[in-house]
Structure 1
Amino acid sequence: MAPALPLRTRIFLIIGALVVINVIGASVMIWHTYRTQSVLSTIIEGNLTGYRSAANLEVALVNQKGFVTYFFQDGNHEWLRQLGEHRQIFRTRLEEAYHRAEDVHQQRILDHIEKEYERYTTLKDQVIAHYLAERRDQGLRLHPAVREHFFALMNTCEQYKALHAARIQEAQKTGIEQAVRLRLIAAAALTGGLLLAVLLSIILLRQVLGPVNHLLQITSRGDQAGGGGGNAVSALSMKVEGLLADVDKTHLELARSRESLLQAEKLAIVGKLAAGMAHSIRNPFTSVKMRLFSLNRSLVLDSEQKEDFDVITEEIRHIDTIVQNFLEFSRPPKLVMQPISPSQVVDMAVQLLRHRLKSYDVNVTIQRTQPLPEVSADPEQLKEVLVNLIINACEAMENGGRIDIQEAVDADDPAGPMALLHVRDDGPGIPERLREKVFQPFFTTKEEGTGLGLSIVARIVHEHGGRIQIDPAKGMGTTFIIALPIKE
């Protein structure tokens, strides 16, 4: 006896069969839909157009009847002119019918119509010639032959029209047959799907819900609240939720512990690295600063050279500050707090970076109605926050751009009145999945980044009793919002 297939395999096979039946049924229906559309297109574009051409031929032929009789009665040549116009219309309709002919049979009928029409017009021209020559008796004797040709020609046009009508009926019959076939296929697919659904229901009842009820009875022994309101799956889910909650809690605690250990290890490495950098980098910069100070006292410089000299001095001091900030990450310095308006710090940071902003082709605009109220802050540390944010924005905008610094006051903040600084760039922005990680130490998306800039920024802002966050609004660019408590 062959071994029974696993439950999951049987369920997947039945579901797969249902999907295949639905796909095949839908594909056949779509195919028949296109076939039906093709039939309708054939009717509209071919047979109906041909039918119309045959009708137009009849109309054009009927319109020629009577003009010679009118001319015979009153002798007005205007009737002959109108006859010529309608003859031209008939020939135009005949030419159109030739272009629309689809097979040899239609071509033969049109050839016969053309020959009959030539005989008909020839006889009619003879009648007109007799009338013009005042030989009315001879013209009247030719009239019966003209009428015979006219009716023969009408009969041929009617045959041509009947041919297209028959083809339209044939196409209609084909469409009806396809519709019946489509209904049969749909009924077969529906029956097969219902049978497979019944089979799947039996398997679920016997081999899924049965074991679930048995497991529920085992887990509910001695438990008065184990009924679950008659829903076995819901009751069993309630039993398992407690275990899953404990597992999730334990997993979360383990993850936090692991993160703390990794953070402590990183901080230890930073501390060792900072100790070496203090002697390897700061001492040469101290010597460079002393030499620059000496040169500044001895050299005679013009205004442009003096400006360049000041920029070099300021940039060296800035590099020294960055090294100091790197050391502060492992051994933060004590803040030198003093009352100062954040607007002053913004102006100092923009003035400090004016040459670098020009090199990045970045324009900075400050939106300020009036200077912000004073806060208790360390100006240098707060300036370092803005410098970091502005430089990061410049590096994010590879082809230049714009940075907007908007100042505002939030008097309704739950923590008290806050001075707000919105620093927005029009760069590519930070993906939503990375926004929670950018303030973590050593997290960076730059190839040569240290991952300390934004973590130092966050630490400085928090040490000032404020907060920093990324505006969650979607769109281009990134907006950092700094909130600092206003000094009472």
Structure 2
Amino acid sequence: FIILFGAFLTGVILYSCIANRLIKIRTRQLSQSLLRLSKYKKEFELVRRDNEIYHRMGIVSHISSLISHELRQPLNTISCYSQGLLMRLEKGPMEQGQISDIVYQIHKKTQGADEIIKKVRDFAKFGSRPVATELNQSIRKAVDVFLLSSQCSSVVEFKPSDAAWIKIDPFELELLVLNLLRNANEALVKTANARIEVNVSINKETSEVILTVKDNGPKLSEETLIKIKRGFETTKKNGTGMGLVIVSESVSNARGKIDFIPSKDRGLLVKITFPLDRHEQKN
């Protein structure tokens, strides 16, 4: 009995030692796995962040031409005021009030240009930052900027709705509308009586805001429509397709949806649906 008890005790001690040894080995392996996982997670985050930055920089690079149109207006105004002031001073002394008014206008336009640059810089650095935005006002501003650009060769008709509040990055919304207008305008190059219709409506039953941009360009084939929906593909000779990617991503960031609907007779209808911001709408 003593021998059996000794053998049993020895076995228990041996088993305990082996178990402790295995636990230490497994613990060390688990710690190493966790360290590797943490390392891979950090590397993944760095790669993801870099990709996001590169993507935003690619978008910023693409939209530089659009921003140049928006900057052209305040810069041209500054130039006109400056030249006018110089010409007026050459004729003789001016009243202090007149000089102050001109300098104020120059300062105001300079602030406007600086605000545009700040919006681009902030977007490149921080990405999309949705806030409560009144859709009609933003679209009107984008339409005005587009009409002032030298590339506009179409008649643009804008039909606003009642106040329509949505949550979207105002800068993204402006780029979205400018891209849609530019695409429609380019599709109308060879079209007589080129016309672009921009409409905003509110569906109270579904609490949605609907933005449509329609052109009377050539009838689109099924193959062309598929290319447009894919993104990163374009029917333009020197195009990259990035414009519609910007549009799609901006809509997605605002929790909206976009549809490309070919008209029965001619042209394309782009329909974008945004969820209505009920809190701002009530206010």
- When normalised by structure 2's length, the TM-score is 0.56
SS of match in other structure, 2:213: strand
Alignment map for 1:177-196 (pairs within 5 Å): none
Q: Which has the larger radius of gyration?
A: 1
1:406 to partner: Cα distance:
1.6
Match of 2:128 among 312, 330, 334: 334
1:301 aligns with 2:84: yes
Conserved? CA contact 2:56–2:127, under 8 Å: no
Q: Please give the per-residue CA displacement for 1:54-102, whole angstroms capped at 9, x wherever unaligned.
A: xxxxxxxxxxxxxxxxxxxxxxxxxxxxxxxxxxxxxxxxxxxxxxxxx
Greater RCO between the two (CA within 8 Å, min separation 6)? 2
1:361 maps to 2:135: no
Counterpart code for 2:146 = L
What's 1:433 paired with? 223
Change (3 A) 1:382 1:429: farther
Identity of aligned residues (%): 22
Whichever structure has more helix as a proportion of its residues is 1
Work out which of the residue numbers 130, 144, 164 in structure 2 matches 1:373. 164
Deviations 1:228-278 (A, max 9, x none): xxxxxxxxxxxxxxxxxxxxxxxxxxxxxxxxxxxxxxx96x939948x98
SS of corresponding position for 1:459: helix
1:301 partner letter: G
Could you say if the C-alpha distance between residues 353 and 332 of structure 1 is closer, same or farther in structure 2, counting changes exceeding 3 Å? same
- What residue number does 1:461 align with? 251
**Structure 1 residue identity aligned to 2:128:** K
Match of 1:383 in 2: 174
Matched AA of 2:258 = I
Change (3 A) 1:322 1:402: farther
Residue type of the alignment partner of 2:84 = L
- Paired residues, what number? 198
Structure 1 position 419 matched with structure 2 position 173: no
CA contact (8 A) 1:341 1:371 kept: no
Per the TM alignment, residue 431 of structure 1 is displaced from its structure 2 partner at its CA by: 2.1
Q: 1:394 to 1:388 in 2, by over 3 A?
A: same
Matched, 1:405 2:198: yes
Equivalent runs, 1:285-324 vs 2, <5 Å: 299-301=82-84
Contact 2:154 2:196 in 1 (8 A): yes
Does structure 2 retain, via aligned residues, the 8 Å contact 1:422–1:481?
A: yes
TM-score by length of 1: 0.34
Alpha-carbon distance between aligned partners in 2 of 1:469 and 1:333, rounded to the nearest angstrom: 24
Q: How far is 1:432 from its partner?
A: 2.0
Q: Could you say if the C-alpha distance between residues 440 and 349 of structure 1 is closer, same or farther in structure 2, counting changes exceeding 3 Å?
A: same
Higher strand proportion (structure 1 or 2): 2
CA positional deviation for 1:316: 10
Are the aligned partners of 1:341 and 1:375 in contact in 2 as well (CA < 8 Å)? yes
Question: In the alignment, is the contact (CA less than 8 A) between 2:224 and 2:235 conserved in 1?
Answer: no
The correspondence for 2:136, drawn from 340, 343, 353, is 343
Q: Label 1:468 to 1:297 Cα distance change in 2 as closer, same or farther (>3 A).
A: same
Report matched runs for 1:9-408 at 5 Å. Answer: 271=54, 274=57, 299-301=82-84, 333-337=127-131, 339-356=132-149, 359-368=151-160, 370-399=161-190, 401-408=194-201
**1:264-304 deviation digits (Å, cap 9, x = unpaired):** xxx96x939948x98xx9xxx9xx99xx69x66992537xx
Instruction: Report the Cα offset of residue 336 of structure 1.
Output: 4.1
Does the 8 Å CA contact 1:439/1:455 hold for their aligned counterparts?
A: no
Change in Cα spacing, 1:472 to 1:321, as seen in structure 2 (3 Å) is: farther
Measured after TM superposition, the shift of residue 469 of structure 1 is 0.7
What is residue 28 of structure 1 aligned with on the other side?
none
Q: Which runs of 5+ in 2 are unaligned?
A: 1-49, 86-101, 279-283
Please report how far the alpha carbon of residue 379 of structure 1 lies from its aligned counterpart in structure 2 after TM superposition.
1.5
Could you tell me how far apart the structure 2 residues matched to 1:317 and 1:345 are? 15
Counterpart in the other structure of 1:482: 272
How far did 1:360 drift? 3.3
Cα RMSD after superposing both structures:
4.5
